[in-house]
Amino acid sequence: MKNFVFLSLFISLLLTGCQDSESKNPILLATSSGNINNISVVIENEMWEGSVGEALRKSLASPVDGLPQEEPIFSLNQMPPEAFSGFVRKNRLFVKIEKGEAGRFKIFDDPFAHPQKGVVITGQDSDEIIEQINKNSEEIIKTLRNTEIKEKQRRINKSLKEDEKLKNTLGVSLKFPTAYRYAMENEEFFWLRKDIPKGNMEILVYAVPLNQIDRDTSVIANIIKMRDSIGKAYIHGGLEGRYMITEEAYAPYLFDSEIDGKFAYETKGTWEMKSAFMAGPFVNYAIRDSVNNRYIILEGFTFAPATAKRDNMFELEAILKSAKID
């Protein structure tokens, strides 16, 4: 209890000092560090190797939806409490487990660096800590992922490609780095491409009428049909009869989402090249633009055989979520 109260009091005072713009001696926070989607897990070694560590791994390192191979949502770097000091406290994301305190859970903003999210979970024993982990898992993951999306967007913003063509043609603003190029563009369809080792990262932007997705209750079937028609029209595999389709063996994941304050269908799954041995993950956002009687479609997909794809897809997601619709 004392440790949690002390940490809470220390962080509250730290945040108060940082936010007091009229203070003559404001506390200056160091810049945080760390790779995207990496979490420092501060926990005793014995707990990490036991049921508490298992619960953390099951939650924070669960597989990312829509990838062809299993990859964790976050990469976890465990350390004992005594190692969590000095420059290590600058890590952008950390989760701290404390045993012997009353069961509770709290998220802290910028406790030791900026930007930073810290999660403190306590419990009288392992069972109580696991209960807190399981009960708050969804909120923890959502908060930490949003932090990483913002950080990725901040990094992308350092070197932006012009998007005037998109604005003038489709009324869509999109923040993407100069590493991408316009691979195809016309009055209805934009294809952006980035070359990566052993593959490519792709972004598609186009619009469809509202009734193309809303015409009946089978939203996912309508989205698949829409994707496949675009693939047949534009995304070809070099030989006649080869074009991108949604993987036929498994239905994609469908979620409700929001971009630029507008409702969006978020679809994640696997694309494949018809009549060819090519495939990879995709994320598709169908953004409802009721004012213009249309859905704006933003899609990112990757082709990178035999390599990890989590970070590539995360970059595409961060780009697509930067969209502004006129």
Q: Residue 272 maps to which CATH number? A: 3.40.1000.10
Strand-pairing partners, residue 108, are: 118
Strands 199-209 and 189-196, bridge-based pairing:
antiparallel
- Residues 7, 59: one domain? yes
Domain C-terminal end among 156, 187, 207: 156
- Residues 257, 300: one domain? yes
Q: Over the stretch 230-257, which tens digit does the pLDDT of each residue have? A: 999 999 987 888 999 999 888 899 999 9
**pLDDT of res. 3:** 55
**pLDDT of res. 6:** 47
Q: Over the stretch 45-102, which tens digit does the pLDDT of each residue have? A: 999 999 999 999 999 999 999 999 999 999 999 999 999 999 999 999 999 999 988 9
Strands 38-42 and 75-79, bridge-based pairing:
parallel
Q: Over the stretch 138-177, which tens digit does the pLDDT of each residue have? A: 999 999 999 999 999 999 999 999 999 999 999 999 999 9
pLDDT band at 21 (very low <50, low <70, confident <90, very high): very low
- Residues 150, 242: one domain? no
- Residues 151, 38: one domain? yes
pLDDT band at 217 (very low <50, low <70, confident <90, very high): confident
| Portion of the chain with pLDDT greater than 90, in percent | 84
- Residues 150, 247: one domain? no
- Residues 168, 151: one domain? no
| Residue range 215-222: mean pLDDT, rounded | 90
Q: Over the stretch 172-198, which tens digit does the pLDDT of each residue have? A: 999 999 999 999 999 999 999 999 998
- Residues 129, 265: one domain? no
Domain housing 169: 164-325
CA distance 323 to 325: 7
- Residues 206, 108: one domain? no
The pTM for the full model equals: 0.90
Q: To 5 degrees, how large is the angle CA 156–CA 162–CA 166?
A: 110
- Residues 115, 145: one domain? yes
**pLDDT of res. 7:** 53
More confident of the two residues 28 and 117: 117
CA distance 230 to 227: 5
**pLDDT of res. 8:** 52
Domain C-terminal end among 136, 156, 176: 156
Strand-pairing partners, residue 273, are: 244
**pLDDT of res. 14:** 42
Q: What is the largest CA-CA distance in the chain?
A: 71
Kindly state the tokens that stand for 30.
């160091």
- Residues 118, 26: one domain? yes
**pLDDT of res. 232:** 95
Inter-residue contact 286 to 297 (CB < 8 Å): yes
What angle separates helix 126-156 from helix 51-60, to the nearest 10 degrees? 30
**pLDDT of res. 227:** 97
To 10 degrees, the CA torsion angle through 202, 206, 209, 215?
Answer: 0
- 282's CB contacts (< 8 A; 6+ apart) are 66, 227, 267, 268, 269, 270, 271, 299, 300, 301, 302
Please state whether the peptide bond connecting residue 115 to the residue before it is cis, i.e. omega within 30 degrees of 0.
yes
By C-alpha distance, which of 52, 41, 50, 43 is closest to 144? 41
By C-alpha distance, which of 66, 68, 126, 118 is closest to 94? 118
Q: How many domains does the chain have?
A: 2
**pLDDT of res. 17:** 37
